[in-house]
Amino acid sequence: MEKGKGYIIAAIYGSPRRDGNTSILMDRFLDGVKYKTEQIGASVYIKKIYTAELDISPCRECGNCSRTGECIINDDMQDIFRILIDTDFIAVASPVFFTSVSGYLKALIDRCQRFWVLKYEHNRKIIKIPRNGIFIGASGSGSETIFDCPKKVIRSFFDVLFVDYQTDFLFKNTERKGAILKNKTALEAVYNFGKKIDFT
Mean pLDDT score, 161-178: 95
Size of the chain, expressed as the number of residues it contains? 200
How far, in Å, CA of 157 to CA of 109, rounded? 6
Mean pLDDT score, 54-65: 96
Q: What is the pLDDT of residues 106-129, one digit of tens each?
A: 999 999 999 999 999 999 888 878
Mean pLDDT score, 185-190: 98
pLDDT of residue 108: 98
pLDDT of residue 1: 37
pLDDT of residue 130: 85
How far, in Å, CA of 80 to CA of 77, rounded? 5
Instruction: Report the percent of the chain where pLDDT is more than 70.
Output: 98
CB neighbours of residue 68 within 10 Å: 12
Q: What are phi and psi of 7, to 5 degrees?
A: -90, 130
How far, in Å, CA of 34 to CA of 194, rounded? 8
How far, in Å, CA of 115 to CA of 112, rounded? 5
Mean pLDDT score, 50-57: 98
How far, in Å, CA of 130 to CA of 128, rounded? 7
100 secondary structure, DSSP code: B
Q: Which of 113, 107, 165, 160 lies closest to 137 in space, CA to CA? A: 165
Q: Which residues of 2-28 are buried (b: 16+ CB within 10 A; e: fewer)?
A: eeeeebbbbbbbbbbeeebbbbbbbbb
pLDDT of residue 128: 76
How far, in Å, CA of 135 to CA of 129, rounded? 19
pLDDT of residue 3: 45
200 CB-near residues (< 8 Å, 6+ apart): none
Is a pLDDT exceeding 70 seen at residue 4?
A: no
How far, in Å, CA of 168 to CA of 152, rounded? 12
pLDDT of residue 107: 98
Residues pairing with 167 in the sheet:
134
